[in-house]
Structure 1
Amino acid sequence: MQEKDVESLLKKAQKPSQDAMILHPFYKGKIQTAPKVPVRTYDDFAIWYTPGVARVCQEIAKDREKVYEYTNKENTIAIISDGTRILGLGDIGPEAGLPVMEGKALLFKYLGGVDAIPLCIGTTEIEETVQFCKWLSPSIAGINLEDVEKPKCFALLKRLQEELSIPVFHDDQQGTATITLAGLINSLRIVGKKIEEVRIAIIGAGSANYAFLRLLEKVNVDLGNVVVCDSKGILTKQRAQTLDEISRQMWIKTNREDISGGIEEALKGADVCIAYSKSGPGVIKPEWVKAMNKDAIVFAGANPVPEIWPWEAKQAGARIVATGRSDFPNQVNNSLGFPAIFRGVLDVRATKVTDEMCVAAAQAIADFAYRKGIHEEYIVPTMEEDQVYVEEAIAVAKKAIEQGVAQKILSDQELREKIEGRIKAGRIMERVLVNANIIKLP
């Protein structure tokens, strides 16, 4: 690739950050509350508020499940973050994390029709966070954990899933793992390899790759053929013993041959590289990609800059390259996952989000793109293909019903109508507000 081409790509990669610094102060935030009912005259406040609302409260007091029928609880979730691992920026605090959580809430509404409240909390203690979520749970139907540092995120998710009666989902674990699995399914279809036969090198031992390993196990991958490399090198049997208990239970299953070394050794002879480590470039070197097997697949998922630039990986021999960025082909991004996963979860009132539900979501994403025609620069749908969210949400809801974790059983037709209606409404709302000049264009 010529130097001027590289400069052009680098300039393109920097533009979203430049635009963000102009548009964020222009709008002063990305979400707002909006009424859900008409106010035909001021007399309507007697219905929506006092005295009429008292009768509604009394009905819920007699049967607490009616809160789902008489309020917006059934479509409301909270996005909870303590600001300890914001994107690739690290522990920058809850205030600095709020723009990310607001953006997440926007995606939830626009892509999934889900009302999400961004809440960056002023504690980093697990016990306090668990208690906060318990206190909050009467008002919401689910929790999306976001940008919590490891290993705390593992224990926090486990505690909340065990102690709350509403679904708790950690997007940096389950969300990233879901879309990664979807991308891998179609990448392997293109190169003609079977998932149970390939050698996979996982770069980074954080929350995303931990959950991805769990999903690999659910689709019958022999984890002994998987090699994991963190910041200190490949996880050998001896090193795995030094990890926290939750992490050790999963990582100890990998690296049957007990290979040692670093990223270079992990990639040698690998068919697939799944990297969610630290922001690059230069974390993965082109010469290491050259040592991978023919038709190599490289997912460089670090944000804001991938571990290796896509064009470098391609020049080094990778056949399929994916990143987490929207300005390169093959964006393997959580935005394809969490809005639809929660849409499906909420509409059947599921009590939890299981790994099997995430696998169902991944397969639905992959199959949607496969039906359209996958190729080396199209392994998963783009965010503009809004029908994928419907198909994914239906798959999640049906799996919840199948697993017996759904409290509301709907037929396939009822599911489709409800899911399509919710997602469509979120998009229409944005258009109406723009057309009415309530949301002003810059």
Structure 2
Amino acid sequence: MLRINASGLRLISKSLNVQSVKAVKNIAIDDKDRLSKPRSQIKGVELLRNPSLYKGMAFTVEERQLLGIHGLLPPAVLSQQVQCHRIMENFRREKDDLSRYIALTNLQYRNEKLFYKVLIDNLELLMPIVYTPTVGLACQKYGIAFRRSKGLYITIHDKGHIYDVLCNWPESVVKAIVVTDGERILGLGDLGCYGMGIPIGKLSLYTALAGIYPTHCLPIMLDVGTNNQQLLDDPLYIGLRQKRVTGKVYEEFMDEFMDAVVARFGYNCLIQFEDFASHNAYKFLQKYQEKYCMFNDDIQGTAAVALAGLMTSLRVTGTPLEENKILFVGAGQAACGIADLVALAISRKANITFEQACSRIYMFDVDGLLVEDRPEGQLDGPKNKYTKQSLRPTKNLSDAVEQIKPTALIGATGVGGIFTESVIRKMGQLNERPVIFALSNPTHKAECTAQQAYEFTDGRCLFSSGSPFKPVELNGKTYVPGQGNNSYIFPGVALATTVFQSKHIDEEVFLIAARTLSEQVSESDLVAGQLYPPMKQIQNVSVKIAVEISKYYYETELASLYPAPYDLESYIRDQLYDTTYQSYVPNTWTWPEEHTKPKDFN
């Protein structure tokens, strides 16, 4: 297969005539090896059914005649911009967010480039629809929302021939996989096969926020059953109607899956784990991290975005990271992941051991404050390193805050409203600028609302949430709450990893991502109360994160792409997915307006 990047084209131009170069450009940049057969062979109805090639009514008269679709479309020729306008007009007429989600999903299945063009151009409006919080509702209603299969469904009954199932995927080049078994979808619990909405949504953001080609992305649902009896009784349920398989059989199934991915798509194929139950999430991360190119977004992505928010808050509070006292409410995979990365950052910053850094971090779980000799005892797991000796047991969060006097309160519980008025007011009494993160998704699971956080601290808190909240008006001032959304992190990590073909993804990658994200917050953002850059800047943020991570990959010899590009950022931007329609008429290819024409193309 022909694979030529922009640098290669410049070399070719020196030895080929201009007409030949135009033909090569048309193949190399337009197709990028994304199709299983040449474009010239895809015509007629087959082309109209291919979402990667379909342009709706933007096909010109010449294209319609050449491609055998003349008469199969209304006669008018509408530009992509007009199509975007029509999509948004219909979007606004939908009666609720679930209907809007379904409408956008149908567009994605029908016209890929138009879907991503609309999403990118209206990012702040559409992100809550394609991602949290609406994606949570869509997963709960997936039996109703389901229209067309997207991605792969691998069941426990496929154990022994998972590789064969992967071979059924039509794209031979897959660079990124998002996989879930649906056991812990957001804060909603076991949704079984309905959890497929999460991998699909995440990979949509891979493309929209990081420019990774959609045909290089593969969402996978590992269906091993569900313990949600309501789903098992649901006549619309699309998954296996059986209880979850656990134990040795389940672990062998996962081992086979990881090996099958490598056999089918290579060692450099990125595998992002999403919404596995806490005990499995940590186990698989420890088991696979150094053997495969993988990461767990719930643990590491959440950790990086929360750490970035903390780093940004230091510019306001003036308190060094190592001098903060941080209380986590919740001790699951998200909380422990954040705590571990924060402790690693503290240890690097203060030049102390990881264990010493852990002394600055406290945890409050379902049984209360994590202290030695509490009546409920401790459970084995990653939270135990944060057990304290000098504090008394308590199940009252306000009492725990009084004992610890934390500078930052971070919630990752999935329990809506656990940050009560007394808790928030106590944080305000103890700190001039209290840091309060309510990170649980979706919105109704947040530990407190933005309104409550600002109101009970007289507007002094530095607030962030997992799901979006509207700006808050208080005492004549407008506060714009930050959203500690993983989408600030995982697209950039994936972009660097897929472009430079990293062998592994270690914890340093997420420290780099957190630091780089924090550096993108401007002073004007801080004045408005934001701890993260505006959502409309997230594509550029992803590129900046990818650049810094790629430097690390080359420094540590984790990258597999050699020789290393001279200008990493330019090389990354050359690889990004282009949402503009391309011409199908021979010898009419032109450089998209937003790209700069190379100097040696005349």
TM-score normalized by the length of structure 2: 0.58
1:420-431 map, 5 Å: 420-423=573-576, 425=577, 428-429=578-579
Q: Who wins on radius of gyration, i.e. which is larger? A: 2
CA distance in 1 between counterparts of 2:110 and 2:261 reads 18
1:135-174 map, 5 Å: 135-140=260-265, 141-164=269-292, 167-174=293-300
**How much does 1:241 deviate?**
7.3
CA distance in 1 between counterparts of 2:561 and 2:392 reads 48
**How much does 1:133 deviate?**
2.1
Letter in 2 for 1:271: T
- Paired residue total: 372
Pick aligned residue for 2:455 from 310, 315, 320:
315
Are residues 1:265 and 2:399 paired?
A: yes
SS of residue matched to 1:405: coil
1:43-442 map, 5 Å: 73=173, 76-94=175-193, 96-114=194-212, 115-123=216-224, 125-140=250-265, 141-164=269-292, 167-220=293-346, 222-238=357-373, 242-244=378-380, 246-247=381-382, 251-255=384-388, 257-262=390-395, 263-268=397-402, 269-280=405-416, 282-292=417-427, 293-294=430-431, 295-305=433-443, 306-317=446-457, 318-328=460-470, 329-370=481-522, 373-375=525-527, 377-385=529-537, 386-408=539-561, 411=564, 413-423=566-576, 425=577, 428-429=578-579, 432=581
CA distance in 1 between counterparts of 2:400 and 2:565 reads 45
Aligned CA distance change for structure 1 residues 370 and 215 (closer, same or farther; 3 Å): farther
**How much does 1:368 deviate?**
1.1
**How much does 1:79 deviate?**
0.7
CA distance in 2 between counterparts of 1:339 and 1:373 reads 22
**How much does 1:264 deviate?**
2.1
CA distance in 1 between counterparts of 2:300 and 2:309 reads 14
Q: Please say if residues 87 and 147 of structure 1, whose CA atoms lie closer than 8 Å, have aligned partners that are also in contact.
A: yes
Letter in 2 for 1:183: G
Q: Please say if residues 225 and 254 of structure 1, whose CA atoms lie closer than 8 Å, have aligned partners that are also in contact.
A: no
**How much does 1:196 deviate?**
0.4
Q: Please say if residues 179 and 273 of structure 2, whose CA atoms lie closer than 8 Å, have aligned partners that are also in contact.
A: yes
CA distance in 2 between counterparts of 1:400 and 1:33 reads 37
Letter in 2 for 1:257: S
Q: Please say if residues 291 and 504 of structure 2, whose CA atoms lie closer than 8 Å, have aligned partners that are also in contact.
A: no
Identity of matched residues, % = 24
Q: Any idea what the Cα deviations from partners look like across 1:80-113, whole Å, max 9, x if unmatched? A: 100000111100102x111222111100111112
Aligned CA distance change for structure 1 residues 157 and 34 (closer, same or farther; 3 Å): farther
**How much does 1:391 deviate?**
0.7
CA distance in 1 between counterparts of 2:259 and 2:547 reads 28
CA distance in 2 between counterparts of 1:410 and 1:182 reads 32
Aligned CA distance change for structure 1 residues 121 and 158 (closer, same or farther; 3 Å): same
**How much does 1:136 deviate?**
1.7
Letter in 2 for 1:361: A
Aligned CA distance change for structure 1 residues 120 and 30 (closer, same or farther; 3 Å): farther
Q: Any idea what the Cα deviations from partners look like across 1:279-327, whole Å, max 9, x if unmatched? A: 41x2110111221221111000111121111111112215111111234
Q: Please say if residues 227 and 266 of structure 1, whose CA atoms lie closer than 8 Å, have aligned partners that are also in contact.
A: no
Q: Please say if residues 289 and 506 of structure 2, whose CA atoms lie closer than 8 Å, have aligned partners that are also in contact.
A: no
1:37-48 map, 5 Å: none
Aligned CA distance change for structure 1 residues 375 and 126 (closer, same or farther; 3 Å): farther
Q: Please say if residues 272 and 296 of structure 1, whose CA atoms lie closer than 8 Å, have aligned partners that are also in contact.
A: yes
Letter in 2 for 1:313: A
Aligned to 1:5: none
Q: Please say if residues 241 and 252 of structure 1, whose CA atoms lie closer than 8 Å, have aligned partners that are also in contact.
A: no
SS of residue matched to 2:364: strand
Letter in 2 for 1:366: S
Q: Please say if residues 522 and 533 of structure 2, whose CA atoms lie closer than 8 Å, have aligned partners that are also in contact.
A: no
Moved more, 113-122 or 24-33: 24-33
**How much does 1:396 deviate?**
1.2
CA distance in 2 between counterparts of 1:373 and 1:303 reads 24
Aligned CA distance change for structure 1 residues 254 and 242 (closer, same or farther; 3 Å): closer
Moved more, 206-215 or 20-29: 20-29
CA distance in 1 between counterparts of 2:373 and 2:566 reads 53
Q: Any idea what the Cα deviations from partners look like across 1:335-375, whole Å, max 9, x if unmatched? A: 01000011112222211111111000100000011476523
Q: Please say if residues 205 and 230 of structure 1, whose CA atoms lie closer than 8 Å, have aligned partners that are also in contact.
A: yes
SS of residue matched to 2:363: strand
Letter in 2 for 1:184: L
CA distance in 1 between counterparts of 2:178 and 2:312 reads 30
CA distance in 1 between counterparts of 2:189 and 2:107 reads 22
Aligned CA distance change for structure 1 residues 265 and 72 (closer, same or farther; 3 Å): farther
Letter in 1 for 2:181: D
Letter in 2 for 1:311: Q
SS of residue matched to 2:321: coil
CA distance in 1 between counterparts of 2:523 and 2:323 reads 24
**How much does 1:409 deviate?**
5.0
Letter in 2 for 1:88: G
RMSD: 2.7
SS of residue matched to 1:374: helix
Gaps (5+ residues) in structure 1?
1-14, 37-70, 434-442
Q: Any idea what the Cα deviations from partners look like across 1:414-441, whole Å, max 9, x if unmatched? A: 3212222233x2xx32x549xxxxxxxx
SS of residue matched to 2:307: helix
CA distance in 2 between counterparts of 1:102 and 1:224 reads 39
CA distance in 2 between counterparts of 1:410 and 1:207 reads 38
Q: Please say if residues 347 and 418 of structure 1, whose CA atoms lie closer than 8 Å, have aligned partners that are also in contact.
A: no
Aligned CA distance change for structure 1 residues 151 and 92 (closer, same or farther; 3 Å): same
**How much does 1:206 deviate?**
1.3
Q: Please say if residues 175 and 334 of structure 1, whose CA atoms lie closer than 8 Å, have aligned partners that are also in contact.
A: yes
Aligned CA distance change for structure 1 residues 376 and 185 (closer, same or farther; 3 Å): farther
CA distance in 1 between counterparts of 2:107 and 2:334 reads 26
Q: Please say if residues 147 and 172 of structure 1, whose CA atoms lie closer than 8 Å, have aligned partners that are also in contact.
A: yes
Q: Please say if residues 79 and 143 of structure 1, whose CA atoms lie closer than 8 Å, have aligned partners that are also in contact.
A: yes
CA distance in 2 between counterparts of 1:104 and 1:135 reads 22
